[in-house]
A and B are shown apart, each in its own frame.
Chain A
Amino acid sequence: MLTKRIIPCLDIKDGRTVKGTNFVNLRDAGDPVELGAEYARQGADELVFLDITATVEERKTLLDLVRRVAHTINIPFCVGGGIGSVADVSKLLNAGADKVSINSSAVRNPQLINELALEFGSQCIVVAIDTRYIEQANGYEHIVHTHGGRKPTELRTIAWAKEVEDRGAGEILLTSMDTDGTKAGFALELTAEISDNSNIPIIASGGAGSVEHFYDVFTAGKADAGLAASIFHFKEIGIPELKTYLKEKGIPMRI
Chain B
Amino acid sequence: MVAIVEYGMGNVASVQKALRFLNVDSIVTANFEKINQSKYIILPGVGSFRQAMENLEQRNLISFLREKVTEGKPFLGICLGMQLLAEKGYEDGLTEGLGFIEGEVIRIPESNLPVPHIGWNNISIKIPQYFDKLTDSNFYFVHSYFFNAKNINDVAATVNYGSDLVAVVQKNNVFGTQFHPEKSQTAGLQVLKNFIDFYA
Residues in chain A within 8 A of chain B (CB atoms) = 1-5, 40, 45, 70-71, 74-76, 93-94, 96-98, 120-124, 170-171, 198-201, 224-225, 254-255
Contacts and interface: CB of A to CB of B under 8 A. Distances in A.
B11 interface: yes
Given A2-B121, A254-B138, 5 more contacts: A74-B183, A76-B183, A98-B183, A121-B48, A225-B119
Contacts of B144: 122-123
B160 A96 contact: no
B46 to A, nearest CB: 6
B109 interface: no
A96 B13 contact: yes
Interface residues of B, number: 35
Please classify the interface of chain A as helix (H, G, I), strand (E, B), loop, or mixed, using the class held by over half of its residues: loop
Residue of A70, A76, A170, A255 most packed against chain B (CB within 10 A): A76
A250 to B, nearest CB: 16
B14 A70 contact: yes
Nearest to A119: B47
Contacts of A4: 119
Contacts of B68: none
A36 to B, nearest CB: 14
A124 B113 CA distance: 19
B177 to A, nearest CB: 15
B115 A45 contact: no
B136 interface: yes
B154 interface: no
Contacts of B116: 122-123, 170-171, 200-201
Contact of A93 (B10, B161, B184): B10
A96 B15 CA distance: 11
